[in-house]
Amino acid sequence: MVRIRYDFGPDWTGDPSIFFRIVLADEAAKRPKLSDLAQTVELILLKEVQAEAQGLHAYFNYRSLSQQDNLKELAWA
């Protein structure tokens, strides 16, 4: 994992939510590993943040470092 960013806001239904943006090293973002890694990351973050206990829906988005380097979105930097 390279970095994690997040924002709070309503989801498409208007419910309070936390949106995670996770940048992965290119090797970690390869398909066979991605599913296991995503599940581990999400469980750790949900435990740490306790989103459900705070009444938040959690959303997770992933991107590889090379994707971010190409897209250069500031929210993911």
pLDDT tens digits, 33-73:
788 899 999 999 999 999 999 999 999 999 999 999 999 99
Show contacts of 32-36: CB within 8 Å, 24+ apart. Answer: 34/62
What Rg value do the Cα atoms of the chain yield, rounded? 13
- Asked if 53 contacts 35 with a C-beta cutoff of 8 angstroms, the reply is no
Query: Residue 31 above 80 pLDDT?
Result: no
Give the per-residue pLDDT at 30: 83
What's the average model confidence in pLDDT over 13-19?
A: 97
Token digits for 43? 């469980």
d(CA 76, CA 65): 10
Give the per-residue pLDDT at 61: 96
